[in-house]
Amino acid sequence: MSLLVVGSIALDSIFTPFGETADALGGSAVYFSVAGSLLHPVQVVGVVGNDYPVAELDRLAVRGIDWSGVERADGESFRWKGKYSYDLQSRETLETRLGVFAHFQPKIPPSFRSAKFVFLGNIDPELQHGVLEQVTEPSLVVCDTMNYWIQSKKAALMALLGRVDVLMVNDTEARELSGDWNIHRAGRWILQHGPSRVVIKQGEHGALLIERTRTFYVPAFPLENVFDPTGAGDAFAGGFMAYLARKGSVSDDDLRRAMVVGATMGSYAVEQFGIRGFDEVTLRDVNHRIHAFEDLTHVSLAEALT
Amino acid sequence: MSLLVVGSIALDSIFTPFGETADALGGSAVYFSVAGSLLHPVQVVGVVGNDYPVAELDRLAVRGIDWSGVERADGESFRWKGKYSYDLQSRETLETRLGVFAHFQPKIPPSFRSAKFVFLGNIDPELQHGVLEQVTEPSLVVCDTMNYWIQSKKAALMALLGRVDVLMVNDTEARELSGDWNIHRAGRWILQHGPSRVVIKQGEHGALLIERTRTFYVPAFPLENVFDPTGAGDAFAGGFMAYLARKGSVSDDDLRRAMVVGATMGSYAVEQFGIRGFDEVTLRDVNHRIHAFEDLTHVSLAEALT
């Protein structure tokens, strides 16, 4: 049950109250695959410029990340520079240089086209359509987007909603897309436009899985030390998708478990700068943290009011 | 196992994007007791002016609210006027007239002094101390506070923390009191200053019960229609305390169940203006909504990663 991600591969320069990094590995496809590969091999399609430290990507290949779908184009790699507020609640983009990403046209290698689990990272919705035309028979397609595409490519995005199983966005994006500030109505609106499920990420508060007749809530893992929120949403997606690919399942129960795995991966992402939070994480650690969610939410209500 | 609340009894004028009310019954003791009395009788200590519509309080007495500890003082009742933003995420206080509340000195009637469950609503910490000097042997003392007291009566508030079992505040208050923006560290800080437990209310996101070695998270009940957030926190407290008083228990399991009951009562509070959300609610409704939390958070993790 192969797992494919198409997204950005970037060099991030991040300023937080706790320190800074320059030109560190980042981008949605990188966070997704570093998190996901703890559970299942990941096939990546993206683009880098000829200045990208590909040796660093190669080092990550041993984790089970197949970078063979990453194109090397002539020009500068995608760079993002951002600064977080003292409480990490907001961030300001200082600079975005798209470089070779500006002309990215995802080409899915023949060996990746039969992927059963497909994650469309946050790229131009027209390119997301292009990916769907190249994959043959996916079991589950999940897509992300952002405010920029909601504003500039609304029609393509709305058409895309009719072709995906799950839209996975953060609360601001869900509100902007639906035009409704109530997060549950926003989720309902999205379901009416195609996907059978919507995942709404709420940062430090957790995430919602909204389905036609049910809603599931997973809190964020309680962390006393958060260093860098960058990539938490993509790490969540990586954990979510890799768990389902590993199980080869899209059952209701496995989707809920995938939400917990996603929240677990999001928690590792924010504990260190960039992807460093995953450096030492083992499957055993993941399992341990997943089970900590049981105590965090467990309550027996069978005889609550008798 | 009697339940006592000491707090404000106010007349609220509230503007929301969905309508407005003028001089409606409000205040912490009113929200607390209207919610709590669905589960257990409530004894109230407070003060009203000679302009208060006491007939409306009397009508609520049939629910099991004992208003005999409410003093009628000569002067104007406490009035609060506020306006919510379009998305109900923030509010502006337009006017506060303390009236007789400015000189409130809680006098606990002899028949209330043996209360086992005591809730100190958000009033001057010195008055909260005064209440504790009048109750004889409470099993559980829970107190609320607000930014105003954190700034103006810090010493009295810190001394109070050493005398209560649970501090129940919202996330902004926890951050301001501890001087720490990380909510889990803020909770830890509070535990180091007295209470064995802290409940941190996070509005539409839910609430945390932080104990020395465990944390419990209850999400907010998913509501597609929210009309007026006023009083949700006090209704939460009323449900929380009344559940424990009803069970006569402060066990770990019952405290978690009490969090769910609190979240349930908070959800009724916000569905209508003022206390109207409770008008038609029955114990059967409460039970039904409590059980809806099971599906909202249930996930089986026993064999998540095998």
Mean pLDDT by 10 residues, chain B (306 residues): 97 94 96 98 98 96 97 97 93 95 97 98 97 97 97 98 98 97 97 98 97 97 95 98 97 97 98 95 96 93 82
Q: Do B86 and A300 touch (CB under 8 A)?
A: no
Nearest neighbour of B182 by CB, restricted to A183, A224, A305: A224
Residue A120 belongs to what H/E stretch? strand A117-120
Mutate one of A171, A305, A306 to test the B interface: name it (highest B CB count within 10 A).
A305
Give yes or no for residue A40 having a pLDDT over 90: yes
Average pLDDT for residues A246-273, to the nearest whole number?
A: 97
Q: State the Cα–Cα distance between residues B139 and A250, nearest whole angstrom.
A: 48
Residues 95-124 of B with CB under 8 A from A: none
By Cβ distance, the residue of A205, A206, A260 closest to B299 is A260
The string of pLDDT tens digits covering residues A4-24 is: 999 999 999 999 999 999 999
DSSP state of A100: G
pLDDT at B89: 87
Share the mean pLDDT of chain A. 96
The residue count of chain B comes to: 306
Q: What is the pTM of this model?
A: 0.96
> Nearest chain A Cα to B183, which residue?
A224
B98 to chain A, closest Cα gap in Å: 34
**Do A296 and B188 lie within an 8 Å CB cutoff?**
no
The dihedral region occupied by B262, where left means phi > 0, alpha psi between -120 and 50, and beta the remainder, is alpha
- In this complex, how many residue pairs, one in chain A and one in chain B, have their CB atoms less than 8 Å apart? 125
What average pLDDT score do residues A200-222 get?
97
CA B133 to centroid of chain Cα atoms: 21
User: For residue B296, which amino acid is it?
Assistant: L
A-chain residue closest to B287, CA distance? A305
Which residues in chain A have Cβ-Cβ distances shorter than 8 Å to B263?
Answer: none
Percentage of the residues of chain A whose pLDDT score is greater than 90: 96
**So what's the ipTM on this one?**
0.94
Chain A's closest residue to B185, CA to CA, is: A224
* Residue A306 pLDDT: 73
Rounded Cα gap, residues A49 and A54, in angstroms: 10
Beta bridge partners of A25: A11
Interface of B with A in 191-210 (CB under 8 A): 202, 204-206, 208
Q: How far is B12 from chain A (nearest CA, A)?
A: 25
Q: Which two tokens stand for residue A102?
A: 């500006």
